[in-house]
């Protein structure tokens, strides 16, 4: 806004407005949030469907209602294709008046990624909402990224298909493969199905919350904790006062990431927090203002005058990760200059490559 930028506000889509049995996150809930954001003079409204829960019928209802109330507000929809309904839902959003939807080139689409760009482009071709994208030109990008993806095949998650069970556990697409990897690292690989069921139970224990970073991590941590300790939902409730919960769960109930819609479930919060302090409102409101100029000066003193604003923002949000990254670059050099295969695999005996460093 005031600095001359474009302000896009996002509402995280949770639940299912097409299911009358789910009464917490209703159409009125989303419309009320949108009104509050519009009053803040946003330029773009984003519906962030981080788990791919927005079914076609719900998409039609939600986007139509938003378009009717805010006829001139650009609406952007983000989704994941975990259940396999992403293309249908994004077509429904388009027909209902959305201005932009997120998708991925075909070779990088589907499952916990975004729905297929080629499918959307083809479906809308020669109609009122034709994207103007040429499929033949798009195919060049699809082929390029297919080759790139093959180079990184060793790092694939192993997921083979979409899964409609996301409508039950509501796990964000960006978390699914990460949590699967973490579960394997914790020795829970053979309990992955149980971890997914626990995720739904953990969500209920936490109060049926909006699951997006960092709140989704809290749900995932509790789900893994339950699997590792052989606990079900009722077991957690019965032993809540004596269990040693993960720190993220305790901090959540203290209000360290904010107060969820509808408040914290009781007596669960009291049993977990005990005598620990709790935040009365938004925890960030109690932080002292950050002096960006002083922070930039400190970074330049440590890392040199080439320190960029991107470096500054990275350090502000993830100081430990940024400092480790800079230490690695200092030790190994800028490995991003290496060809992909040479970075991933050792060179063959006698093989040489040339790398342009600057």
Backbone dihedral angles phi then psi of residue 76, each to the nearest 5 degrees: -120, 130
pLDDT in tens, 74-125: 999 999 999 999 999 999 999 999 999 999 999 999 999 999 999 999 999 9
Question: By mean pLDDT, which of 58-72, 120-134, 180-194 is the weakest?
Answer: 180-194
- Contact predicate 10/44, CB 8 Å: no
Q: How many residues does the chain have?
A: 358
In the chain, % of residues over pLDDT 70: 100
- Contact predicate 115/86, CB 8 Å: yes
Measure the CA–CA gap between 132 and 117, rounded to whole angstroms. Answer: 12
Q: What is the pLDDT of residue 300?
A: 97
- Contact predicate 226/206, CB 8 Å: no
Q: In sequence order, which residues have a C-beta less than 8 Å from that of residue 353 and are 6 or more positions away?
A: 338, 339, 342, 347
Q: Token digits for 63?
A: 């986007």
Task: For the chain, report the end-to-end CA distance as a whole number of angstroms.
Answer: 37
Q: How confident is the model at residue 324 (pLDDT cuts 50, 70, 90)?
A: very high
- Residue 358 predicted with pLDDT over 80: no
Q: What is the pLDDT of residue 131?
A: 96
> Average pLDDT of 261-265?
96
The H-or-E segment that residue 76 falls in is: strand 75-78
DSSP single-letter state for residue 46: E
> Average pLDDT of 127-137?
95
Domains by residue range for the chain, with CATH: 8-155 (3.20.20.70), 171-286 (1.10.472.90), 292-344 (1.10.10)
DSSP single-letter state for residue 116: B
Q: What is the pLDDT of residue 104?
A: 98
pLDDT in tens, 16-61: 999 999 999 999 999 999 999 999 999 999 999 999 999 999 999 9
Measure the CA–CA gap between 191 and 186, rounded to whole angstroms. Answer: 10
Q: In sequence order, which residues have a C-beta less than 8 Å from that of residue 13 and are 6 or more positions away?
A: 25, 30, 47, 48, 49, 50, 53, 54, 62
Q: What is the pLDDT of residue 224?
A: 97
In a 3-state reduction of DSSP, which class is residue 179?
helix
């Amino acid at each position: 806004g005031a600095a001359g930028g474009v302000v896009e506000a996002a509402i995280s889509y949770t639940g299912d407005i097409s299911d009358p049995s789910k009464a917490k996150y209703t159409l009125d809930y989303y419309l009320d949030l949108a009104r509050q954001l519009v009053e803040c003079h946003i330029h773009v409204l984003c519906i962030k469907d981080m788990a791919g829960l927005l079914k076609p019928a719900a998409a039609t209802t939600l986007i139509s209602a938003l378009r009717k109330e805010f006829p001139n507000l650009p609406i952007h929809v983000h989704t994941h294709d975990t259940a396999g309904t992403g293309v249908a839902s994004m077509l429904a959003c388009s027909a209902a008046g959305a201005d932009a939807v997120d998708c991925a080139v075909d070779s990088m689409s589907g499952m916990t990624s975004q729905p297929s760009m080629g499918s959307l482009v083809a479906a809308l071709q020669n109609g009122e909402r034709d994207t103007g994208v040429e499929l033949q030109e798009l195919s060049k990008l699809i082929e390029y990224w297919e080759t790139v993806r093959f180079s990184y095949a060793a790092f694939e998650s192993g997921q083979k298909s979409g899964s409609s069970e996301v409508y039950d556990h509501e796990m964000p697409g960006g978390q699914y493969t990460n949590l699967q990897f973490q579960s394997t690292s914790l020795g829970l690989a053979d309990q992955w199905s149980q971890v997914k069921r626990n995720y739904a139970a953990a969500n209920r224990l936490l109060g049926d919350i909006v699951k997006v970073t960092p709140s989704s991590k809290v749900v995932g941590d509790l789900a893994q904790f339950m699997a590792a300790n052989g606990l079900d939902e009722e077991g957690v409730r019965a032993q809540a006062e004596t269990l040693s919960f993960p720190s993220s769960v305790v901090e959540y109930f203290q209000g360290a990431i904010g107060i969820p819609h509808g408040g914290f479930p009781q007596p669960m919060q009291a049993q977990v927090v005990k005598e620990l302090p709790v935040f009365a409102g938004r925890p960030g409101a109690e932080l002292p203002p950050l002096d960006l100029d002083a922070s930039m000066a400190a970074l330049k003193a440590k890392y040199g005058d080439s320190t960029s604003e991107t470096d500054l923002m990275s350090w502000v949000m993830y100081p430990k990760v940024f400092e480790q990254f800079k230490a690695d670059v200092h030790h190994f050099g800028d490995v991003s200059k290496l060809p992909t295969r040479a970075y991933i695999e050792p060179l063959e005996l006698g093989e040489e490559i040339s790398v342009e460093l600057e």
